[in-house]
Amino acid sequence: MQKAKGTYDVYGEYGRKVLALENILKDLMQVYNYEYFRTPIFESTELFHRGVGDTTDIVTKETYDFKDRGDRDMTLRPEGTAGIVRSYIENKYYGNPNVPSKIWYYGPMYRYERPQSGRFREFYQFGVEVFGSNDPLTDAEVISIPVNFYKMLGLKQIKVHINSLGDEESRNNYREALKAHFEPHLDTLCEDCKERFKKNPLRLLDCKVDKDLDVMKSVPKTIDYLNEESKKHFDKVCEYLTSMGIEYIVDPGCVRGLDYYTHTVFEVEASVEGFGAQNILCGGGRYNKLVGMIGGPETPGVGFALGMERLITALDFENISVVDEYSTDCYIIPMSDNEKAFSLSVCNALRMSGFKADMDYMSRNLKSNFKQSERLNSKYVIIIGEEEEKTNVLTIKDNKTKDEYKVELEDLVEFLDSKIDECDCCHGGECTCGDECHCGDECKCHSKEEK
């Protein structure tokens, strides 16, 4: 048996990267004061047709659709926003007095497309949505989240590609301009684009087949068709980005691939060596009509999403590690079967005290157990024999210095706390004293007093 095409297993080093990034994102959302939402992996097919749009490639070509046993049309979610909006409406979250409602989500999405580097049929997406505020300040805050996240990770030359589709009036003006531009050249377009021309001319700009045609290169710019209100909104977003020191490029070609966007649309790129011409790592925008389209009250919204797989690929290309060196605090060795229960109780107590502890489950000999402790990169080894269990005095060995200690069981947590904290302290800054620290390395304390 093998995994399905376009899917992948998470384990080992890759698994540690995923968990590390998830934890960073969770911490970042606390800093921004966003609330966690989780929605079902499958929803009514109608939700995505109404929310994502019937004219998008996602809905027309890429969704996983099926009928359940009640003969209902269901779809594996291809993106996160529609489900969050459905939940926002169904749970009457628009009645929450804490406005704007700032939400984040993370989970698997599904699109039936050609698998390639950093792109899968099952992929994980992190995103945020903000409901209730039409202030361009909100657009700027949402854009700042991925920018700050990528900078925290150490990615270079973070830039925002930003554009505006404007309000409904501006979009209608632009739609007519596009139709006038493309109509004389319909015979040169692919069959998909001919259909897009009838249903939603804006989708022509996403075409991968016709992108190099002259008619595509000379397409009208959305910004030229913004009314005064839309232009003012866009100018304010740019002003707020400048105030935060966020670099941006006004990019008329940035239109995004979903039907629900209005006003601000954006993509964030990083300079990734060897990543190719496409360095875009995330995208999003404003969608003031989407909540109403799905059946809720008219509510402005703005958000973005990023793919975890593409991000990890970018970090690998840049040799950026988000994973600490794999290690354990303690490895416990019972000398015989007789000490296994006592050893397990010590291991359990250490874990409940917050230490990363493991023990021998394979009845290895002492030499093999020391090799195992090295494989686990354990800071300390605790050896438990008949005498240790009888007296409650444990033998503890420092794996680095090879020093041995005898420690009362009741003092074990305090002892390890002091030793592990001391080690962290010693390696936390510039060495100024030149003394030796307890673990045998050159001391890196800020001062002798700190040491």
Per-residue confidence (pLDDT) for residue 265, from 0 to 100 = 94
Q: Which two tokens stand for residue 444?
A: 């890196």
The structure tokens listed for 110 are: 């599904």
Task: Report DSSP state, residue 279.
Answer: -
| Residue that wins the pLDDT comparison between 255 and 10 | 10
For the cut 80, the answer to whether the pLDDT of residue 210 exceeds it is: no
- The three-state secondary structure class of 267 is strand
Q: Which fold has domain 328-426?
A: Rossmann fold (3.40.50)
Residue 426 clears pLDDT 50, i.e. is over it: no
Residue 69 CA to chain centroid, in angstroms?
34
Termini Cα distance of the chain? 56
107-157 tens-digit pLDDT: 999 999 888 777 899 999 999 999 999 999 999 999 999 999 999 999 999
Bridge-based pairing of strands 35-36 and 328-334 is unpaired
The edge-to-edge listing of strands for the beta sheet with 73-76 is 42-44, 73-76, 64-67
**Which whole-number Å values give the CA distances from 412 to 254, 361, 364, in the listed order?**
60, 22, 24
Q: Looking at residues 163-171, what average pLDDT do you find?
A: 91
| pLDDT tens per residue, range 56-100 | 656 767 899 999 999 999 999 999 999 999 999 999 999 999 999
Nearest to 265 by CA among 207, 222, 315: 222
Residues of the chain with CATH 3.40.50.800: 328-426
Q: What confidence category does residue 438 fall into, taking pLDDT thresholds of 50, 70 and 90?
A: very low
Check whether 18 has a pLDDT greater than 60: yes
Strand, helix or coil for residue 283: strand
Specify the pLDDT at position 298.
Answer: 95
What is the location of CATH 3.30.930.10 in the chain?
A: 12-167+227-317
The rounded distance, in Å, linking the Cα atoms of 26 and 44 is 29
Summarize the confidence of residues 155-170 as an average pLDDT: 93
For 416, the token pair is 């390890």
pLDDT digits (tens, 9 = 90+) for 312-369: 999 999 999 999 888 999 999 999 999 999 999 999 999 999 999 999 999 999 999 9
Q: What is the mean pLDDT of residues 410-428?
A: 74
Q: Whose CA is closest to 121, among 130, 108, 133?
A: 108
Reported confidence tier of residue 203, pLDDT bands at 50, 70, 90: confident
Produce one character per residue of 412-430: b if its CB has 16 or more CB atoms within 10 Å, e if not. bbeebeebbeebebbeeee
CATH of domain 12-167+227-317: 3.30.930.10
Both tokens of residue 88? 């926002």
Angle, to 10 degrees, between the axis of helix 12-32 and the axis of helix 136-153?
140
- Neighbour order of strands in the sheet with 301-307: 35-36, 101-110, 122-131, 301-307, 280-286, 262-271, 156-164, 248-250
Residue 312 to residues 16, 20, 110, 223: CA-CA distances in angstroms? Answer: 11, 11, 18, 34
Retrieve residue 399's tokens: 């794996």
- Enumerate residues 6+ apart whose C-beta is below 8 A from 379: 327, 328, 329, 330, 398, 399, 400, 419, 420, 423
With pLDDT > 70 as the criterion, what percentage of the chain qualifies? 90
In this prediction, residue 385 carries a pLDDT of: 96
The pLDDT-based confidence of 172 (bands split at 50, 70, 90) is: confident
Report the chain's mean pLDDT, rounded to a whole number: 88
What is the pLDDT at residue 211?
A: 74
In the chain, % of residues over pLDDT 90: 69
Q: Could you tell me the pTM of the whole model?
A: 0.85
